[in-house]
Amino acid sequence: MLRIATRQSPLALWQAEHVAALLASAGIQTVLVPMVSSGDTDMRPIDGTRQVGLFTKRIQQALLEDEGDIAVHSLKDLPTEVNELLTLAAVPVRETVTDCLVSKSGVKFSDLPNGAKIGTGSRRRAAQILSRRPDLNVEGIRGNVQTRLSKLDEGFDAIVLADAGLVRLEMADLPRYHFTFDEMLPAPGQGALGIEVRANDKQALEAAATMDDMATRAAVTAERTLLSSLHGGCLAPIAAYAVVDGDVLRMSAVALSPDGRKRIDETDEIEFANDLSAAVELANRISQRMVDAGAIEMVRG
């Protein structure tokens, strides 16, 4: 029986149970091993002074110390730095990638009144909001989905959340506006799960392989390769979205200054034939143009 290491938040437990169900459909038995990460207990706003991996290090440690066999991550939270003892063994089919503006009325982004107070724990989201609406008042918030939603009763006009989390928590009726990709690109890996195992664990590797979706893996590989090339951790104001459309892989990306006043947008595509090398090549092409335009210095503010 394989042990699935997971955080204890409602969304993390949903993700772990989803992976358990996928493995059960392949005839593989599992048991959940919940644990608390530093990201679950540290409620300070996320900013450039914080470390990456707040939500992932504890369950990676569980693999390394043989407390679990499979770690389930929200892929957007997983650092791009490689640990040779661990491997990203699978990326299941992706959920919706859009961000959404949650308010009591479901107001559109363009209809927010001047000076509206918007809550988000993401520098990427804050920078993109300010890039399009510098008149808005963006403030940092932390906590799980339920904690963030409570901010709507504490003086915030709206908060920004990933739609995937709301779908997974069956909050489909929550009033919200879905950002267009022109208004806000998602975080690299957003909406996708990352299944990590010990690199030498043959049983876990084989089990994880039953869940892997090549189109999703190619898309997130392109996004995460770009993020790594720009030397941006998961806290950086960098966004990217790649998608496989037939035999083409295309990606759009943006890097911003933290205050949203400067931005570099790029888009490109490449022929795709179920080969991750195309994803890496596409990311390298786009990221090199962004580096040449000064993206690395810009995102640092």
Burial of 163 (0-12, 13-18, 19+ CB in 10 A): buried
Q: What angle do CA 160, 127, 217 make, to 5 degrees?
A: 70
Measured distance CA(285)–CA(299) in Å, rounded: 19
Sheet holding 193-198, edge to edge: 30-35, 2-7, 70-74, 193-198, 86-90
Record the tokens describing residue 275, joined without a space: 């080969």
Among candidate residues 171, 280, 301, the one with its CA nearest the CA of residue 217 = 280
Record the tokens describing residue 276, joined without a space: 């991750």
268 pairs with which residues across the strands?
Answer: 251
Measured distance CA(37)–CA(21) in Å, rounded: 23
Catalytic choice (42, 47, 69, 77)? 77
77 noted as active-site residue: yes
* 189 dihedral zone (left: phi>0; alpha: psi -120 to 50; beta): left
CA dihedral 289, 299, 180, 252 (to 10 degrees): 20
Q: Look at strands 176-178 and 193-198 and give their pairing.
A: unpaired
Measured distance CA(162)–CA(19) in Å, rounded: 19
- Residues recognised as catalytic: 77
